[in-house]
């Protein structure tokens, strides 16, 4: 049976998998399985697959079950579920039987959690709901006819996109005894109580000591972390709540702390720079003695970046670092994004870095089996949706291919014809090389010329690459050539490439976008008079910049954009610091404001002639919707054809990846209709 072109509605058929976790004996991989039901709802449950591809489903229902973690002996699986409406940690025996609820937490949010190596304890972070916004408080107000109360804020860290408003509430660290439900360092009456609450922002990375007696924790040591240069440090926390800070560590950012299996060392991801809060420098791997002292940079000489994320709309955009110690404590497995690929890497204590996989694909690294013979992973590429896989690293034997264990999207791929990206490298300004891809329309016929779309990624410090992009495939099926590149500012090409636009968006990145535009205009299969441009977040910024600086594109779509750096400085969930990442500040002198204004796209909108569709979510806390309101006002007041699509406050900045399915489909239909209107 012949294949057909993809449609937007095929999103509803996709099975999404993630969070792969190997059982201790390496015989099975636990993972989350997410589908979309007929009621427009994501259904997430836990499954496992053995090495022969046999599937076991561990949870049922529609209340959301995820974050599965094997107990150290493999006899139990812990997971987080809202089956009782409030998120709790549950445990299910692998021998069979019903899950039991381990925690009885009040309303709030459960963050990260980890088994102790001896299986006796569970450490987790938890943040209580604002008291006046609990369900009980809401019910009482309704009974009395009272209004919804105000949110009372005393600290600049009071909201986060995708997380919402939490005011002064903070995550705290807890440890609960698995067998008894007793909390370590409990309150005087033995009840629920935190083990540690020293992080001013409530942000932690943590890991157990091999003897299960302590927990290593990283968080900011600053009293005003959002206003001061980064100074993350490491503390060791005993089960009685006693804490001591490791001495001798540099200032700068630190995350993903991991205790070596032999107990002698701590590894973490970070950097020593105190003036780079947005990550233009490479995130590196450091190792420090567990007692404190001088840390050693293991990867800084390689120019690899542990924070290089390959973007897609069929997986979460995780910007964290992955570090997994080898069982012999002689090295660390890493996830490395490089030139559009994502690979499994390894670094030993002599700072020798090796890529263990190769190929035009994305690998998402999970955990390691107890004997170190296998690593859990997700695996996919531009024409293959992610599936669960294992990698069997044999150091010193060369590159190895992941073994794919699942095939949930087999029928999807059997039914649908996809466009295969064609890679290109072209020279830009200053001798810089621009890496990009072009996807031809489904049913492409030579020598016909087709309308073309330039997609610009967000971040800006991320990368496009060899990952499945549903949106791109839908546009190819609609008859467009889709071009996407990694201009300067992107991750995956070394620190200099990324740092080239620090404090100066709209400079070297604009050079590269112009280079890509000229390349498109000279391709024999692209009609140079029928080109459009679109992008989201920073991609929205650059789309705004493009239409304010040229008329090469006949239509534009700016999605969850940045338009005015002056107002953006104060209304994002991550507010700007004076002369931090950007020069100047919105509440400073006129000269300070000018430094932000000159790189604000809205400052150049008197030059815009391009019909523009504006897309934004009212619940976006990263790029406030007022950024798009300014764009729409400027276009409308100048009589330029424009349309503003506002998605509800229940959606957030990442709606194109994780928003409600019906709204994701609506967004895609708006994109195709707008481009069809002006390019066909």
Residue 196 Cα distances to 94, 177, 208, 238, 364, angstroms: 31, 16, 14, 9, 31
Q: Is 653 a catalytic residue?
A: yes
Is 259 in contact with 215 (CB distance < 8 Å)? no
* DSSP conformation class of 562: -
Task: Output DSSP code: residue 433.
Answer: E
Per DSSP, the residues of 135-192 read: HHHHHHHHHHTPPPPPPP--SS--EETTTEE-TT---EEEEEETTT-PBTT--TTS-S
Query: DSSP 3-state assignment of 218?
Result: strand
CB 358 within 8 A of CB 389: no
Which DSSP string do the residues of 43-60 spell out, in sequence order? EEEEEEEETT--EEE---
Contacts of 218 (CB under 8 A, 6+ apart): 204, 205, 206, 232, 233, 234, 235, 254, 255, 257, 268
Continuous segment of H or E residues that includes residue 643 = strand 642-647
**Tokens representing 87?**
């998120």
- Give, for 318, the enclosing helix (H) or strand (E): none
CA 620: distance to chain centroid? 15
On the 0-12 / 13-18 / 19+ scale of CB atoms within 10 A, 404 is middle
Active site residue 23: no
Q: Which of 312, 537, 563, 567 is catalytic?
A: 537
Region of residue 60 (phi > 0: left; psi between -120 and 50: alpha; otherwise: beta): beta
Cβ–Cβ under 8 Å, residues 618 and 649: yes
Which is the catalytic residue, given 361, 457, 470, 653? Answer: 653
Cα–Cα distance for residue pair 449/432, rounded to 1 Å: 29
Q: Which residues carry out catalysis?
A: 537, 653
């Amino acid at each position: 049976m012949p294949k057909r072109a993809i449609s937007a509605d095929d999103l509803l058929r996709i099975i999404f998998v993630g969070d792969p976790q190997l059982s201790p004996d390496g015989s099975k991989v636990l993972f989350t399985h997410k589908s979309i039901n007929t009621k427009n709802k994501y259904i997430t449950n836990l499954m496992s697959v053995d090495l022969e591809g046999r599937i076991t489903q561990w949870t049922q229902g529609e209340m959301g079950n995820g974050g599965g973690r094997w107990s150290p002996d493999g006899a139990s699986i812990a997971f987080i579920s809202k089956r009782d409406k409030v998120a709790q940690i549950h445990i299910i025996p692998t021998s069979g039987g019903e899950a039991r609820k381990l925690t009885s937490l009040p309303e709030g949010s459960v963050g990260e959690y980890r088994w102790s190596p001896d299986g006796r304890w569970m450490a987790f972070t938890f943040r209580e709901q604002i008291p006046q916004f609990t369900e009980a408080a809401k019910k009482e107000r309704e009974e009395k006819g009272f209004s919804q109360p105000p949110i009372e804020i005393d600290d600049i860290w009071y909201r986060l996109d995708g997380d919402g408003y939490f005011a002064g509430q903070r995550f705290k660290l807890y440890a609960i005894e698995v067998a008894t439900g007793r909390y370590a360092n409990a309150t005087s009456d033995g009840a629920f109580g935190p083990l540690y609450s020293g992080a001013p922002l409530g942000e932690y990375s943590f890991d157990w000591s091999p003897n299960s007696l302590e927990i290593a924790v990283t968080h900011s040591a600053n009293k005003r972390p959002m206003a001061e240069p980064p100074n993350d440090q490491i503390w060791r926390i005993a089960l009685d709540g006693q804490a001591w800070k490791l001495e001798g560590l540099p200032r700068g950012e630190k995350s993903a702390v991991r205790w070596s299996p032999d107990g002698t060392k701590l590894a973490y991801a970070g950097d020593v720079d105190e003036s780079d809060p947005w990550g233009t420098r490479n995130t590196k791997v450091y190792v420090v003695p567990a007692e404190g002292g001088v840390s050693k940079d293991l990867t800084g000489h390689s120019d690899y970046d542990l924070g290089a994320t390959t973007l897609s709309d069929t997986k979460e955009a995780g910007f964290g670092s992955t570090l997994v110690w080898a069982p012999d404590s002689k090295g660390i497995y890493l996830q490395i994004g490089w030139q559009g690929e994502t690979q499994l890497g390894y670094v030993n204590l002599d700072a020798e870095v090796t890529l263990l996989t190769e190929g035009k694909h994305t690998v998402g690294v999970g955990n390691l089996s107890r004997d170190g013979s296998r690593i859990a992973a997700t695996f996919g590429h531009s024409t293959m949706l992610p599936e669960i896989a294992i990698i069997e690293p044999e150091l010193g034997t060369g590159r190895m291919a992941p073994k794919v264990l699942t095939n949930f999207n087999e029928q999807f791929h059997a039914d649908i014809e996809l466009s295969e990206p064609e890679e290109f490298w072209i020279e830009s300004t200053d001798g810089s090389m621009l890496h990009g891809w072009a996807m031809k329309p489904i049913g492409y016929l030579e020598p016909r010329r087709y309308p073309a779309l330039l997609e610009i990624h967000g971040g800006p410090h991320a990368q496009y690459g060899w990952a499945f992009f549903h949106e791109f495939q839908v546009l190819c099926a609609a008859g467009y050539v889709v071009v996407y590149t990694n201009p300067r500012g992107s991750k995956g090409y070394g620190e200099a490439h990324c740092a080239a636009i620090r404090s100066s968006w709209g400079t070297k990145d604009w050079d590269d976008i112009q280079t890509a535009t000229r390349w498109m205009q000279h391709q024999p299969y692209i009609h140079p008079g029928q080109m459009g441009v679109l992008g989201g977040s920073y991609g929205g910024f650059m789309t705004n910049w493009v239409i304010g600086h040229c008329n090469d594109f006949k239509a534009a779509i700016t999605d969850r954009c940045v338009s005015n750096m002056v107002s953006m400085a104060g209304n994002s969930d991550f507010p700007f610091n004076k002369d931090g990442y950007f020069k100047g500040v919105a509440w400073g002198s006129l000269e300070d404001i000018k430094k932000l204004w000159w790189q604000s796209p809205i400052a150049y909108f008197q030059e815009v002639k391009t019909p523009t569709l504006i897309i934004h979510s009212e619940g976006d806390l990263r790029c406030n919707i007022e950024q798009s309101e300014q764009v729409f006002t400027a276009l409308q007041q100048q009589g330029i054809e424009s349309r503003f699509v506002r998605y509800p406050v229940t959606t957030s900045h990442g709606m194109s990846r994780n928003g409600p399915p019906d709204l994701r489909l609506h967004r895609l239909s708006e994109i195709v209709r707008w481009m069809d209107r002006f390019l066909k």
